[in-house]
């Protein structure tokens, strides 16, 4: 009898321990960055290289030495007592500063190896200098680089150098990491004909199912396809537990009023389970930190965290600081050369230049047209996504210009029929709801667009300068056009420039030199916008909305005290809701309600179910206080 009792007690004890093990939670801490864009040196509030004066005032952010310091600090703290940590990069390390222009990713590989990333996803900009340059980077890094939907032919330089997925064992658990790259990479970068991109959703669904079949029940999608696409993926693909994203440069936060959504953003998958989605803005300004708890079946039971601002309170890693200075020496003379002065901020924020006319877009387009006006060229078109940073008031250096225009594009001139010019503009506004970089900034041309209309029929009131007056564009006539060599080759969806252009010449001066010369010629330059692009609202016509003079640009005037007081009063006294009308968008509503279009993010945050530039007519929008 005692032996039987002992056996029963042992069995009961064993069952208890087994049940306890089955109920054990597993916690994974995810440190992540995205869209660094070669911001090796610290940046200022305009995302340009921070000056010595700004550094002395503690006005700098990020830089690779701060990224290194904070990742080291958080990894050590989280790993203490056996904590589980993974460090991820969601892509777009390439392109954006003189460091990339000079070193073509060699510096990036060195610094990333020194930080000790676990996995990186391919971003579209990794293909900017063709797969040849990317292949050299892949040979240098000591960690896996992945992309599930990138399909490189056997003759591609990157064939076999990246993986479709990776499985890492951390704390005794298998973590599967898959990745989707935006499928329009073929249009917005230079992957060449031997690299294709499969559908993101179908690819991730198959990859997640395959990993589940192998017994991997914790799966992270390390994507480079944008916040909106990640939310769509979460809603349509079962098996993904966490999405760490990039591409849209989105700030997510539970405390920052500038954030586009919460950190993490939770979206229910087809099985009804919440999928946390995170992203950490861009340009080395933030490090994301997400803590995820899984049950024994691999289901997420809890997720929490926040982006960490890498401001002056973060002491940069001294070894990295020294190495950055060493690599920067050959660049300093060029970067520090003054090219002109600006009386105000040249605005290039993606929240503006990818949605409407912006002062940087006007300046660059004007500079392009000015450079080739003696060649019979009358129209300039530049993609808003090609403008990568704003420039503040004061002296303008070549380094700042190169940060704005880092792609080493050249002027491209050609002739195009009027009907094809209109078709190009239609392409430019076709993906405005996604904040796509193809939005057309122009010179020598005026146009209006209405995002409430179907893609392909949004453009109206296209006018060109003839003599001293604006005339409707003649769809049968041929016009001289200037753009850049990237767009002329069909980049950003401008295929009509490649197929229909005649007498094309793609080898003009570098776009950065054109802008530098123009600013020098017109110094001190006065930033402005003049109404050349009209966002139609409430069914209005562009002719009714715009009565700008045909020639001279307007210089902004300082606000009078009474006007300033009135604006402040209007900003703080407004209704709690707004009825959406035909043609409305977040920017224009913010301008109407708050008196400042730049406050559009507050509206977006308060109305997370409403898509930018696709607002439901007649619906009530919540209007938060500012």
CATH code of the domain covering residue 608: 3.10.350.10
Which residue range(s) make up the domain with 391? 338-545
Q: Residues 441, 479: one domain?
A: yes
Q: Residues 311, 344: one domain?
A: no
Q: CB under 8 Å to 112, separation ≥6 — which residues?
A: 89, 93, 120, 141, 143
* Token output for 31: 């440190």
Other C-beta atoms closer than 10 Å to the C-beta of 258 total 13
> Phi/psi class of residue 249: alpha, beta or left (left: φ > 0; alpha: ψ in -120 to 50)?
left
Q: Residues 264, 181: one domain?
A: yes
User: Domain end: 291, 321, 351, which one?
Assistant: 321
Q: Residues 533, 565: one domain?
A: no
Q: Residues 295, 389: one domain?
A: no
DSSP state of 77: H
Q: CB under 8 Å to 373, separation ≥6 — which residues?
A: none
Tell me, rounded to whole angstroms, the distance of Cα 107 from its chain centroid. Answer: 22
Residue 302 forms part of a structural domain: yes
pLDDT of residue 614: 60
User: Domain end: 545, 571, 595, which one?
Assistant: 545
Identify each DSSP E strand in 183-337 by its residue range.
195-197, 219-222, 242-244, 265-268, 274-278, 286-294, 300-309
pLDDT of residue 410: 81
Q: CB under 8 Å to 101, separation ≥6 — which residues?
A: 402, 406, 408
Q: Residues 109, 213: one domain?
A: yes
Q: Residues 347, 402: one domain?
A: yes
Q: Residues 281, 380: one domain?
A: no
Residue 23 forms part of a structural domain: no
Tell me: the pLDDT tens digits for 260-318? 999 999 999 999 999 999 999 999 999 999 999 999 999 999 999 999 999 999 999 99
Task: Please give the mean pLDDT across all residues of the chain.
Answer: 88
State how far the Cα of 67 lies from the Cα of 73, in Å rounded to an integer: 10
Residue 327 forms part of a structural domain: no
Tell me: the pLDDT tens digits for 475-521? 999 999 999 988 998 999 999 999 999 988 887 778 998 999 999 99
Q: Residues 282, 419: one domain?
A: no
Mean pLDDT, to the nearest integer, of 335-343?
93
DSSP state of 155: T
Percent of the chain at pLDDT exceeding 70: 88
Question: Helix, strand, or coil here: 252?
Answer: strand
Instruction: Pick the most confident of 332-341, 411-420, 538-547.
Output: 411-420
Q: Residues 300, 386: one domain?
A: no
Answer yes or no: is pLDDT of 340 > 70. yes
State how far the Cα of 37 lies from the Cα of 354, in Å rounded to an integer: 18
Residue 304 forms part of a structural domain: yes
Residue 331 forms part of a structural domain: no
State how far the Cα of 88 lies from the Cα of 245, in Å rounded to an integer: 10
Residue 205 forms part of a structural domain: yes
Identify each DSSP E strand in 491-545 by its residue range.
502-505, 533-535
> Phi/psi class of residue 481: alpha, beta or left (left: φ > 0; alpha: ψ in -120 to 50)?
beta
Query: Prior bond to 524 cis, omega within 30?
Result: yes
CA angle 565/567/570 to nearest 5° reads 110
Residue 2 forms part of a structural domain: no
Answer yes or no: is pLDDT of 539 > 50. no
Contact yes or no for 519/337 (Cβ under 8 A): no
Other C-beta atoms closer than 10 Å to the C-beta of 125 total 27
**Local confidence band at 332 (pLDDT 50, 70, 90 cut-offs):** confident
Residue 474 forms part of a structural domain: yes
CATH code of the domain covering residue 436: 3.90.780.10
Q: Residues 174, 38: one domain?
A: yes
Per the structure, the count of domains in the chain is 3
């Amino acid at each position: 009898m005692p032996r039987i009792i002992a056996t029963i007690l042992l069995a009961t004890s064993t069952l208890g321990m087994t049940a306890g093990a089955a109920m054990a939670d597993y916690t994974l801490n995810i440190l992540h960055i995205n869209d660094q864009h070669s911001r090796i040196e610290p940046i200022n509030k305009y995302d340009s290289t921070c000056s010595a004066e700004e550094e002395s005032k503690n006005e700098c952010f990020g830089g690779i030495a701060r990224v290194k310091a904070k990742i080291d600090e958080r990894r050590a703290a989280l790993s203490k007592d056996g904590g589980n940590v993974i460090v991820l990069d969601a892509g777009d390390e390439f392109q954006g500063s003189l460091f990339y222009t000079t070193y073509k990713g060699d510096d990036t590989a060195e610094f990333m190896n020194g930080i000790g990333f676990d996995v990186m996803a391919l971003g579209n900009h990794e293909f900017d200098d063709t797969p040849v340059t990317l292949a050299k980077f892949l040979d240098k890094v000591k960690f896996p680089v992945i992309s599930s939907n990138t399909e490189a032919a056997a003759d591609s330089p990157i064939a076999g150098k990246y993986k479709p997925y990776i499985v890492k064992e951390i704390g005794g658990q298998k973590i599967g990491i898959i990745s989707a790259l935006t499928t329009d990479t073929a249009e917005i970068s230079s992957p060449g004909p031997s690299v294709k991109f499969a559908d993101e959703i179908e690819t991730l669904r198959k990859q997640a199912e395959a990993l589940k079949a192998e017994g991997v029940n914790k799966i992270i999608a390390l994507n480079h396809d944008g916040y909106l696409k990640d939310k769509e993926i979460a809603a349509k693909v079962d098996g993904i537990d966490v999405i760490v994203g990039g591409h849209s440069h989105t700030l997510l936060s539970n405390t920052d009023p500038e954030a586009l959504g919460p950190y993490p953003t939770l979206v229910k998958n087809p099985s009804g389970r919440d999928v946390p989605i995170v992203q950490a803005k861009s340009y080395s300004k933030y490090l994301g930190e997400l803590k995820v708890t899984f049950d024994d079946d691999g289901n997420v039971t809890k997720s929490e965290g926040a982006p960490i601002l890498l401001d002056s309170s973060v002491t940069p890693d001294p070894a990295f600081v020294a190495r950055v200075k060493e690599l920067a020496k050959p660049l300093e003379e060029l970067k520090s050369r003054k090219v002109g002065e600006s009386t105000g901020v040249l605005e290039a924020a993606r929240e503006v230049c990818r949605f409407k006319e912006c002062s940087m877009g006007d300046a660059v387009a004007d500079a392009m047209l000015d450079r080739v006006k003696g060649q019979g060229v009358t129209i300039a078109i530049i993609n808003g996504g090609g403008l990568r940073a704003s420039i503040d008031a004061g002296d303008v250096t070549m380094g700042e210009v190169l940060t704005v225009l880092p792609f080493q594009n050249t002027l491209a001139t050609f002739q195009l029929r009027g009907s094809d010019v209109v078709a190009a503009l239609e392409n430019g506004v076709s993906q405005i709801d996604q904040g796509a970089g193809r939005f057309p900034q122009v010179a020598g041309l005026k146009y209006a667009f209405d995002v409430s209309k179907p893609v392909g029929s949004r453009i109206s009131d296209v006018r060109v300068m003839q003599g001293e007056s604006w005339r409707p564009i003649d769809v049968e006539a041929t016009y001289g056009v200037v753009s850049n060599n990237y767009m002329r080759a069909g980049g950003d969806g401008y295929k009509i420039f490649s197929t229909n252009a005649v007498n094309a010449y793609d080898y003009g001066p570098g776009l950065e030199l054109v802008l530098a010369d123009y600013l020098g010629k017109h110094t001190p330059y006065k930033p402005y916008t003049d109404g050349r692009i009209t966002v139609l609202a409430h069914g209005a016509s562009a002719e009714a909305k715009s009565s700008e003079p045909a020639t001279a640009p307007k210089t902004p005037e300082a606000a009078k005290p009474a006007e300033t007081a009135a604006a402040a009063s209007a900003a703080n006294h407004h209704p709690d809701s707004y009825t959406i009308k035909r043609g409305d968008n977040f920017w224009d509503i913010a301008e109407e309600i708050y008196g400042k279009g730049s406050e559009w993010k507050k509206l977006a945050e308060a109305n997370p179910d409403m898509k930018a530039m696709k607002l439901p007519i007649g619906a009530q929008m919540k209007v938060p206080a500012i």
